[in-house]
Chain A
Amino acid sequence: MSALELSDVVVDYHGRGGHVRAVAGASISVERGTIVGLVGESGCGKSTLARAAVGLVETAGGTVLFEGRPVTSLGRRTRPAELVRLQLVFQNPYSSLNPRRTVGSQLADGARGANVAELLERVGLPSNAIRRYPHEFSGGQRQRIAIARALAANPSVIVLDEPLASLDASAQAQLANLLKRLSRELEVGLLLISHDLAIVRHVADEVSVMYLGRMVETAPTLPLWEHPAHPYSEALIAAVPRADGGGVLPDSLPGEVPDPSHPPTGCRFHPRCPYAFDRCTVEEPPLLELSGGRASACWLQTEGRAPAPLPNLVGTESVE
């Protein structure tokens, strides 16, 4: 059993204009000691799924299990004690840290006897950070403080929502290395939500690709990167600009993530998919198990087989 297991989770948001299904039946699981990357464009529901994973939003369907127990949405009730081992780190640490309290006192909140200096050392901060305030640190250091605070609860799983966005390359590298080390050394499972595929490739053991509320592909990281089985994964990877000085423009994916309140018929990706054929417009492909621990929701793939190479599109003009 996985430490964190989300099955067929559905999340609806209700507003004046009716309801929007932000997550439409998505599954993902995180084992202790592994890093699972969750990628997709903005609006695909990845942050909502992260919030559902820790009980910050109510689910309208499916189950969320943490260490075998259901995670229910927080509401006004107090959080069950065992859920303290499931932690969340946000994108902007400055908004989640209290500017008027010292780092040491904020860490001590969750530490319950754990050594605060030790926590700081774990994340690579000097012990004199205890007496300092959040504003005295750089963005990367603040994110490490936020991670130290999550570690204070001795978690088995940490959900990180875009922890690396808005950091400079060097700070990003430091934090990426730290996350890998923590998952190995502390056997903590990490669910890493990110829009940066290059860093996810480097950090994550497995990757799930989300599109308009559903998983379209799940695979071990390197095979996914080298042979994406879903056209959407392929498009995401092709859009990453390379810093090799080659002057090659990345490929863009035409169109945009559609409005989740009116998802397209059939495969949700078909209006943007260069390979779409008749069946894709009418019938939604299930997430098919392929070989090698992979799964893809695409009619081009056949159940139980190795991922079929995507048809060659060389010669097609890339759009702006």
Chain B
Amino acid sequence: MSTLAVEGLRVRLPTPAGEVTVVDGVDYEVQPAEVFGIAGESGSGKTVSMLALLGLLPEGSAVEGSARFGNDDLITMPRRRLRSISGRDIAMVFQDPFTSLHPMLSVGKQLTEHVRLHLGLDRRGAEERAIELLADVRIPDPRAALRRFPHQFSGGMRQRIAIAIALACRPRLLIADEPTTALDVTVQAGILRLLDRLRREHELAVVLITHDLGVLSSVADRVSIFYAGRVVESGNRADVLQRPRHPYTRALLDALPHPEAPKEQDLVAIGGAPPSPGRIPPGCAFHPRCAYAVDECRSVVPPLVPVGDRRLACPVDPFADE
């Protein structure tokens, strides 16, 4: 059974200019021990779709759809119950660990408070659990690390500590939002390897949000490509990234510098810019930037439907035969 099943998720956020639809009908499932990757440009609704599940959106936001987690629906669940689930059964890791760690509290304090609160351990037990967690995320000399403060660690080590805190209560679902974006590639590789091991060892379902298709390609098992609040293509990692069928997925991949491409060749940028929420074009939101658009694309929002080995929201399907 899937750990998380999201269906028909719609999010409207209040803005000074009125309500704006930021996520417009998103479906996906995540299995235990699986990394489900969500990719898209900034403003595509990746992060908002996650915050919506945890009730972390600003006052006045409207969320529709369902998000089944075990026997519960995260969307309709009472707020108090949601709060006890998030942080315990569902954990989050953000881009900048410095903002999620408290700068004035020692690492030990932040880890032990957390496990004492959620697991009801005594001081001694909580400390043992904290050391175990720091060792699990490969912090050298965990016992000494407990007495240190976040600023005494490097960016990569801080992210490991944030992951340790996230894992403290043995969550079933980990949501990682751009967890390596602020890190050097060498450190990023370590965090990706860590996530990959943890999900296997702890049977952890992971939702990985990233703008980096390289990161997506190295750890995700299944992926969804977001554009303007909708999923345009989803499927197994290899199918989607090796044989992209949506013109947007294709364009995103073409924009990347390929490690074997001849240097003289220009990179292929996508014409135009992603639409801002509130000014989403009618029909397929990508049609003004798409070289394959036909009349239908300008008026009808293409549904995400099963097509062969994946799900695709493109009636033209120009790369079907490749």
Contacts of A126 in B (CB 8 A): none
Contacts of A251 in B (CB 8 A): 189
User: By DSSP majority rule, is chain A's interface helix, strand, loop, or mixed?
Assistant: loop
Which chain A residues in 240-299 approach chain B with CB under 8 Å?
A: 240-254, 256
Q: Which of B184, B186, B214, B257 contacts A176 (CB 8 A)?
A: B257
Q: Which residue of A lies closest to B40 (CB)?
A: A168
CA distance A177 to B263 in the complex (A): 11
List residues of B whose CB falls within 8 A of some A CB. 41-42, 138, 154-157, 184-194, 196-197, 211-219, 221, 237-242, 251-253, 255-257, 259, 261, 263, 266-270, 273-274
Contacts of A195 in B (CB 8 A): 184-185
Contacts of A319 in B (CB 8 A): 190, 193
30 of the cross-chain contacts (CB-CB < 8 Å) are A41-B184, A41-B186, A140-B273, A141-B273, A168-B41, A173-B256, A173-B257, A173-B269, A176-B267, A177-B267, A177-B269, A195-B184, A195-B185, A199-B257, A222-B263, A241-B214, A243-B214, A243-B241, A245-B217, A245-B237, A246-B217, A246-B238, A247-B218, A249-B192, A250-B185, A250-B188, A252-B186, A252-B193, A320-B190, A320-B197
User: By DSSP majority rule, is chain B's interface helix, strand, loop, or mixed?
Assistant: helix
B259 touches A256 (CB 8 A): no
Q: Which of B154, B237, B273 contacts A256 (CB 8 A)?
A: B154
CA distance A244 to B184 in the complex (A): 20
Q: A41-B187, A241-B188, A241-B192 are in contact. List 18 more A-B contacts (CB 8 A).
A: A169-B252, A170-B252, A172-B267, A180-B266, A198-B257, A202-B261, A240-B185, A241-B185, A242-B214, A242-B217, A242-B218, A243-B217, A244-B241, A245-B241, A247-B238, A249-B189, A249-B218, A252-B187
Contacts of A320 in B (CB 8 A): 138, 190-191, 193-194, 197
Shortest A48–chain B CB gap in Å is: 16
CA distance A252 to B185 in the complex (A): 8
Shortest A239–chain B CB gap in Å is: 4
CA distance A243 to B273 in the complex (A): 22
Q: Give the most central of A168, A225, A254, A318: most B CB within 10 Å.
A: A168
Q: Which residue of B lies closest to A253 (CB)?
A: B186
Q: Give the most central of A42, A239, A241, A319: most B CB within 10 Å.
A: A241
B215 touches A241 (CB 8 A): yes
CA distance A318 to B190 in the complex (A): 9
Say yes or no for A138: interface residue by CB 8 A criterion. Answer: yes
Q: Which of B186, B221, B238, B251 contacts A170 (CB 8 A)?
A: B251
Say yes or no for A201: interface residue by CB 8 A criterion. Answer: yes
Q: Which of A235, A239, A247 contacts B217 (CB 8 A)?
A: A247
Q: Which residue of A lies closest to B213 (CB)?
A: A243
Q: Which of A222, A225, A249, A254 contacts B196 (CB 8 A)?
A: A249
With A245-B240, A320-B138 already in contact, the answer to whether A250 and B257 are too (CB < 8 A) is no
Q: Give the most central of A177, A201, A225, A256: most B CB within 10 Å.
A: A256
CA distance A244 to B239 in the complex (A): 10
CA distance A227 to B191 in the complex (A): 26
B138 touches A243 (CB 8 A): no
Contacts of A249 in B (CB 8 A): 189, 192-193, 196, 218-219
Contacts of A172 in B (CB 8 A): 255, 267
B269 touches A250 (CB 8 A): no
List residues of A whose CB falls within 8 A of some B CB. 41-42, 138, 140-141, 168-174, 176-177, 180, 195-199, 201-202, 221-222, 225, 235-236, 239-254, 256, 318-320
Contacts of A177 in B (CB 8 A): 266-267, 269
CA distance A243 to B240 in the complex (A): 11
CA distance A178 to B36 in the complex (A): 35
Q: Which of B156, B192, B219, B267 contacts A202 (CB 8 A)?
A: B267
Shortest A175–chain B CB gap in Å is: 9
Q: Which residue of A lies closest to B183 (CB)?
A: A42
A244 touches B242 (CB 8 A): yes
Contacts of A140 in B (CB 8 A): 273
Contacts of A250 in B (CB 8 A): 185, 188-189, 192, 214, 218
Q: Give the most central of B185, B192, B237, B268: most A CB within 10 Å.
A: B185
Q: Which residue of A lies closest to B220 (CB)?
A: A247
Contacts of A254 in B (CB 8 A): 190
Contacts of A174 in B (CB 8 A): 267, 269
B155 touches A240 (CB 8 A): no
B184 touches A42 (CB 8 A): yes
With A250-B185, A256-B187, A320-B197 already in contact, the answer to whether A198 and B215 are too (CB < 8 A) is no
Contacts of A247 in B (CB 8 A): 217-219, 221, 237-238
Contacts of B184 in A (CB 8 A): 41-42, 195
Q: Which of A171, A241, A244 contacts B189 (CB 8 A)?
A: A241
Contacts of B215 in A (CB 8 A): 241
CA distance A140 to B269 in the complex (A): 12
B193 touches A318 (CB 8 A): yes
Contacts of B186 in A (CB 8 A): 41, 235-236, 239, 252-253
Q: Which residue of B lies closest to A205 (CB)?
A: B263
Q: Which of A138, A168, A176, A242 contacts B259 (CB 8 A)?
A: A242
